[in-house]
Amino acid sequence: MLQGRMNQRRDPDPAASRPAGRRPNEILAIELSAGLSSALDRLVERDHPDLTRAEALVAAFRDFASAHGLVPTADEGLRPDELNASNDG
């Protein structure tokens, strides 16, 4: 489980700057323990030397979320709220 504090900063009027039904990317500020920070540095060095620490953290969480069924995969198709007459096959 993630340890530390998480703060969110959001656009004052997020609906004005994105298509209907789409959530904006959120900026999260997190505080990692020294051990997790070192682990992140090792991950970047070993597996993702071309990424920043933030990008590597996002990639690691994306892998975790996908492996645990928390985000849809490409072969799951459209979510019910994305279905409409234009995508009837």
Is the pLDDT higher at 67 or at 20?
Answer: 67
For residues 62-86, give the mean pLDDT: 79
For residues 55-62, give the mean pLDDT: 94
Is the pLDDT higher at 89 or at 62?
Answer: 62
Q: Which residues does residue 28 pair with via DSSP β-bridges, in sequence order?
A: 8
Could you please report the per-residue DSSP string of 5-27? -EEEE--SSGGGGS-TT-PPP-E
One-letter identity of residue 38:
S
**Three-state secondary structure call for residue 37:** helix
Model pLDDT, residue 31: 96
The residues spanned by each domain of the chain are 6-69
Distances (CA, A) of 8 to 15, 24, 26, 53, 70: 17, 12, 7, 19, 20
